[in-house]
Structure 1
Amino acid sequence: MEAFWISLVVIFIAELGDKSQLMALTFATRFKAWPVLAGITIATTVVHLFSVAIGGIAGDLLPETAIAVLAGLAFFGFAIWTLRGDELTEEEAGKAARTTRSALIAVTVAFFLSELGDKTMLATITLATQHGWVGTWIGSTVGMVAADALAIGVGRLLGAHLPERIVRYGAAAAFAVFGVVLIAEAVM
């Protein structure tokens, strides 16, 4: 259960202000919320299963102290990445706007491709090096889907009035705190 809750919280925070949330908002303006959420869930489930497999193998091969220090440094990197922010490219926004195929297929494929190498995938790999893969997989998937569902709901209510800067700074600060805690635990 610890792996589930840690992964849920970390990935939820990682997803705040991420490109995936922008995609969710874009798709939600064209399609009903349920096919968008289902597509996000399918894509996230597959990508995060792959991520925890990589993290589990790395966790078995490396010493615990090295993993903790590397994970702490990775979270500092995620904090910087989050401060930099994510935006949809014109091409990505255009694809989401032009999609006329099944909403479920369009969202699933778009999210699968956008999550490969994304910070949430890398954060899931990092978490899986230290925690059980099943809890990490389920927690990271639930955290991402919950963050994107929140984006869809809030985005529909508030539109362009979302405080993106505050969300970005808060998420970056949370990543930095996770980084400090992981490194402190490794050195003590």
Structure 2
Amino acid sequence: MEAFLISTGIVALAEIGDKTQLLAFVLAAKFRRPIPIVAAIFVATLANHAFAAAIGTWITSLLGPNVLRWVLGASFIAMAVWTLVPDKLDEEDTRFPRYGVFMTTLVAFFMAEMGDKTQVATVALAARYDSLLAVVAGTTLGMMLANVPAVYLGDRIAHRISLPLVHGIAAVIFAVLGVATLLGVGAGLAS
């Protein structure tokens, strides 16, 4: 349950103001069809985060517990710093091929999520917690918690959110996880 809750919280916070959330805003404004957009975001996130969690689990099998602890601790601290860097939407992320709302959103969201903060966080969380399904379910829920309101409410809520505050909170959580991991807190959870 801890893996699920931490994964949900971290990704929901990290996703606020992230380029994939900005993409959700753009897709919602462009197509004005929230149901296929939300469905495609869900499918793209599930596929992307399942792949990322599988990589995290694989990394766990390659590294010994002591090396893994240092790699994960440093990764979480790096994520804390990266979370403080604001994202912007690349021009290539906003191209709209003529494949319909669902497929356009699916492809655009999956590609935008490749190498993104939340995908890297999913790799680290899967390596940290020995519960692939809980991590994938949590990170996917976190993405949906951040992106569904972006699709449905768009501009009405975007200007009301303090991005620096949200990014700061996410950075603190990543840093605490990093330090706790380096200190060996919960070491039995990762093995």
Q: Same fold (TM over 0.5)?
A: yes
Q: Percent identity?
A: 35
Q: Which runs of 5+ in 2 are unaligned?
A: none
Letter in 2 for 1:44: T
Give, in angstroms, the shift of residue 180 of structure 1.
Answer: 1.7
Q: Aligned partners of 2:173 and 2:151: how far apart in 1?
A: 22
Q: Which runs of 5+ in 1 are unaligned?
A: none
Higher helix share: 1
157-166 or 27-36: which moved more?
A: 157-166
Letter in 2 for 1:60: S
2:79 aligned residue: 78
Letter in 1 for 2:111: L
Q: Aligned partners of 1:5 and 1:148: how far apart in 2?
A: 18
2:110 aligned residue: 112
CA offsets, 1:65-112, max 9 Å, x none?
A: 32222112111111111111110123333x1xx555411111100011
Q: Structure 2 matches for 1:116-127, cutoff 5 A?
A: 116-127=114-125
Give, in angstroms, the shift of residue 160 of structure 1.
Answer: 3.7
1:51 aligned residue: 52
Cα gap change, 1:12 to 1:161, in 2 (>3 Å)? closer
2:135 aligned residue: 136
Q: Structure 2 matches for 1:26-105, cutoff 5 A?
A: 26-30=26-30, 31-93=32-94, 95=95, 98=96, 100-105=98-103
TM-score norm. by structure 2 comes to 0.86
Q: Aligned partners of 1:183 and 1:154: how far apart in 2?
A: 40
2:21 aligned residue: 21
Q: How many residues align?
A: 185
The answer to whether the Cα contact below 8 Å between 2:13 and 2:166 also exists between their aligned partners in 1 is: no
The answer to whether the Cα contact below 8 Å between 2:37 and 2:151 also exists between their aligned partners in 1 is: no
1:168 aligned residue: 167
TM-score norm. by structure 1 comes to 0.87
CA offsets, 1:33-67, max 9 Å, x none?
A: 22111111111111111111111111122122322
Q: Aligned partners of 2:105 and 2:53: how far apart in 1?
A: 22
Cα gap change, 1:69 to 1:154, in 2 (>3 Å)? farther
